[in-house]
Structure 1
Amino acid sequence: MFSYNYRWAILNRLGFSAPLEICREDTIKITSDYFHSGGKLTKSDAQKCGYFLHTLVKKDNKDALKLLINHGVDVNAKDDDAGTPLHNAVWEQNKEIVELLINHGADVNAKSKSEMNPTPLHNAVWEQNKEIVELLINHGADVNAKNDDAGTPLHAASMKDNKEIVELLINRGADINAK
């Protein structure tokens, strides 16, 4: 324990807070020890750490994701494109992390500012991942959400010629007359 506290004191003198260094290092053991020894995240640190959730999603690091989310890091933290960790998990087609994020309050209807402002459902349809499409819909994703092109998930499924997802979306209330 002494070595961890000593290290944090040095880091703080260099201008880094312990929680930010933990997030940056992606070190589950140090992170866990920090929180178990009574360490806390300030609101500012939690916001800054949110950016690292995106990296943890890409690295498929479920343990670190859970630990940071359980200690106050915003599950809906935006990256530079205003995408959320859920957007990234969908792009990575990682159903387990999609479930983890949803179960911790991820916004299934969040729009990113990347090309055309898609929702996670748009991304799942575009990736043709029926399991994730169903999961998102089952947790309240808007089947008629429009991106900047006024395109809906049904439009995307039709463009991909994915009959299974087209049928799923229609059966779940997608507007076949959406323009």
Structure 2
Amino acid sequence: MEGLVNLVHEIAVAMGWLLPTACYAAAVSCLIFSLVGIYQYYHPTIQALQDKPWLPYLSLVLCGVFASFNVILTKSTASAGTDVQVTLGDAATSYSTADSLITGTGPKDAILAIVKDFALFFQMFGAWTCFFAVLTWFAIQRGRSNRERLGCGIQYVFGVMLLNPVKDATWILSFWP
């Protein structure tokens, strides 16, 4: 099990280093889209965004969202009732595995030990889920995706839930008799 934990931990560290790059790339692309859209809107000969004049300004707001994505995720986790501080590009490089899956009083303790071992991967997966939820929501606003807006909201909520996997696993296991 230790080899699997090591592999998943390294994947999570790689995800932690790639997420800021993706956030800043999305912020720059939103800024460029916003500047081009504002120019096209105020230029009388170009009719590109006449049906959605608010879209460049929304893109400008999303530029700020992507540039400060760690603050947005931290505030989202605070709204969920946790005290997780999200930092981008500062993934943990060390971890502690559970001593043994046999220690404890039953299967609940074994499941919590496994969740603690894979917590960094769950956290990074949750952050990526939130990133893609916001990105897809913007694609819906632009008319590039046929998904529902509510689905992006649900995806974002589940991504925030994954940012604190131990608390969520403890809550789910509380229903187990």
Identify the TM-score tier after normalising by the shorter chain: under 0.3
Q: Which has the higher helix share?
A: 2
Bigger Rg, which one: 2
After TM superposition, the score normalised by the length of structure 1 is 0.22
Relative contact order higher in (CA < 8 Å, ≥ 6 apart): 2
